Amino acid sequence: MAGKPGGADEMPGCEKEPEVVRALARGELPEDLLQHAEACVVCSEARSITQELQHLLQDSLEEPMESAASLWWRLNLKMRRDKVSRAKMPLVWMGRICAVTVLLAVFFALWQVSTSATVSDVLIVGILALAAVALPTMIVLWRWSQS
């Protein structure tokens, strides 16, 4: 079991190696076999290999791997969500710009009204035209960014 086939550096066999391997597979290594495994090179290597395989088995049982289909589906879903959020960004920014424009126009109109006693008709028409264009545009951009 422990030797390399066909090599000049072939490890010698041990008559107790099968007993050690069976005992390790059961999970109970008696004291006499434990002392032998510590002294014998062949049985010591069989013991270390068996312990390593048991550790690998425990690790594989603790952390199940996700299937490739599940990983692929989650990656596609993430990519679609990223594309949707990138596509919505211009709409969101246009809505913000439109809101700032309306706020600035209202601020400017209130400032003009407070500084002068008479409000010109051109100012009133301009603010109404801006509101007539900007408010529906803001509403449409907001609705598009929500869908």
pLDDT score of 40: 87
Amino acid identity at 80: R
pLDDT score of 83: 92
Amino acid identity at 113: V
What distances in angstroms separate CA 103 from CA 8, 99, 110, 134, 135, one per listed residue? 89, 6, 11, 10, 11
Number of domains into which the chain is organized: 2
pLDDT score of 9: 60
pTM of full prediction above 0.75: no
Domain check: are 78 and 122 in the same one?
Answer: yes
Tokens of 137: 């545009």
Domain check: are 110 and 130 in the same one?
Answer: yes
Last residue of a domain, which of 5, 37, 62?
Answer: 62
Domain check: are 21 and 45 in the same one?
Answer: yes
Residues of the chain with pLDDT under 50: 1-2
